[in-house]
Chains A and B, each alone.
Chain A
Amino acid sequence: MRAPNVRGDGTLVHTRVSALGMEDSTFNEIYNETAHPLWRYVARISGSATSADDILQETYLSFLRSPFKGSDLKEAKPYLYKIATNLVYKRFHKTRHETQSEFDEANQDETASAAFNESIEMSQIFSRLNERERALLWLAYVEGYEHKEIAAILNVNSLSVRVLLYRARRQLAEHLEVEGK
């Protein structure tokens, strides 16, 4: 499928449009900007590196099927996080007992350094939090989202984000204290 597009000099160019109504170039741009941070987010909140790949694909497929057809990365990114969060929650509730510590096993072949050992410890500490606490902390401290944006992504009241974030932080701080970090 081809759609007309106007260049800076006024000439018409034709860009490929996917079957779902979004230009391939726009999607490529969004994907290249968001895939890696989104994978890290999914892997950490699901606690599984292997299911992170599947969830990442599902997220982009849902995104392409969604009514969102804009090209603004600022709008697309939180939307992708919202889809990914819902998919993780859905999967987490289906396979509640299988999610812990798989992250470490999947990565064990790749590294064998002191940094990796630290990573295992960190993963174990992080996996003691529930999925919402992990998501809250990640979105706030790694992605740097505002409370309002976090509320929209996690589908919670924006006024309660502050309290939930405080509790999650407290939980993590307690675990760190116990581990002597």
Chain B
Amino acid sequence: MKETNGLEEHIVSDWMQRLAEQTQPPSNLSTPSLILFKAGLIEKRRRAERAIMPIIWMQIATLTLFAIAALWLLLSDRSPLAVLFRETLSSLMSVVPFIVFGAIAAAMICVAFAFVLRRE
């Protein structure tokens, strides 16, 4: 049994060596300088993306603050427009559960689609 294994190993090893000899890389294989150049570009892009992240967060924060301030002003105001807005908002309160449920269902459908597309 051991002898058979040894012979088999020898045959396979010999065959693998021949296969390796016949596997020659193309002459136009990428150069190290090209790889380094690409790596440099990717790193630069990554740094640029990292650098603009605080600006994006600041924009989001500013917009959120602005929206809150505008809402607060509108709710505390006594002008006809503010009254109309408040009434619209209070009438919408009855359908809030449906809106929330619809948003959750839409999000779940989107996630399921993304999952299926990713698998494919």
- Per the CB 8 Å criterion, the residue count for chain A at the interface is 41
| Distance in angstroms between the alpha carbons of A139 and B23 in the assembled complex | 15
Task: Indicate which residue in A39, A115, A137, A142 contacts B25 across the interface (CB closer than 8 Å).
Answer: A39
Q: Is B2 an interface residue (CB 8 A)?
A: no
Q: Is A24 an interface residue (CB 8 A)?
A: yes
> Are the CB atoms of B12 and A169 closer together than 8 Å?
yes
* Set of chain A residues within 8 Å of B24, measured between Cβ atoms: 40
Task: Indicate which residue in B11, B19, B36, B40 contacts A126 across the interface (CB closer than 8 Å).
Answer: B19
| Distance in angstroms between the alpha carbons of A91 and B30 in the assembled complex | 20
Interface size class of B (residues with CB under 8 A): 20 to 34
| Distance in angstroms between the alpha carbons of A34 and B18 in the assembled complex | 20
Q: Is A11 an interface residue (CB 8 A)?
A: no
Q: Is B68 an interface residue (CB 8 A)?
A: no
Task: Indicate which residue in A61, A122, A181 contacts B22 across the interface (CB closer than 8 Å).
Answer: A122
| Distance in angstroms between the alpha carbons of A141 and B26 in the assembled complex | 23
Interface residues of A in 18-44 (CB under 8 A from B): 18-20, 24, 27-28, 31-32, 35-36, 39-40, 43-44
Report the minimum CB–CB distance from A29 to chain B (whole Å): 9
| Distance in angstroms between the alpha carbons of A32 and B30 in the assembled complex | 11
Which residue of B has the minimal Cβ distance to A38?
B25
Q: Is B16 an interface residue (CB 8 A)?
A: yes
Q: Is B54 an interface residue (CB 8 A)?
A: no
> Are the CB atoms of A32 and B15 closer together than 8 Å?
no
* Set of chain B residues within 8 Å of A169, measured between Cβ atoms: 8-9, 12
Q: Is A64 an interface residue (CB 8 A)?
A: yes
Instruction: Classify the interface of chain A: helix, strand, loop or mixed.
Output: helix
> Are the CB atoms of A172 and B17 closer together than 8 Å?
no
| Distance in angstroms between the alpha carbons of A92 and B24 in the assembled complex | 21
Name 15 interchain pairs, CB-CB below 8 A, sorted by A: A24-B36, A27-B32, A27-B36, A36-B25, A39-B25, A39-B29, A53-B29, A60-B35, A61-B35, A64-B39, A116-B22, A119-B22, A122-B22, A126-B19, A138-B20
Q: Which residues of B contact A (CB under 8 A)?
A: 5, 8-9, 11-13, 15-20, 22-26, 29-30, 32-33, 35-36, 38-40, 42-44
| New contact pairs (11) apart from A39-B25, A44-B23, A169-B9, CB-CB < 8 Å | A19-B43, A20-B40, A32-B32, A35-B29, A43-B25, A52-B25, A60-B35, A65-B39, A65-B42, A119-B22, A176-B12
Q: Which residues of A contact B (CB under 8 A)?
A: 18-20, 24, 27-28, 31-32, 35-36, 39-40, 43-44, 49, 52-53, 56-57, 60-61, 64-65, 115-116, 118-119, 122-123, 126, 137-138, 141-142, 166, 169-170, 172-173, 176, 181
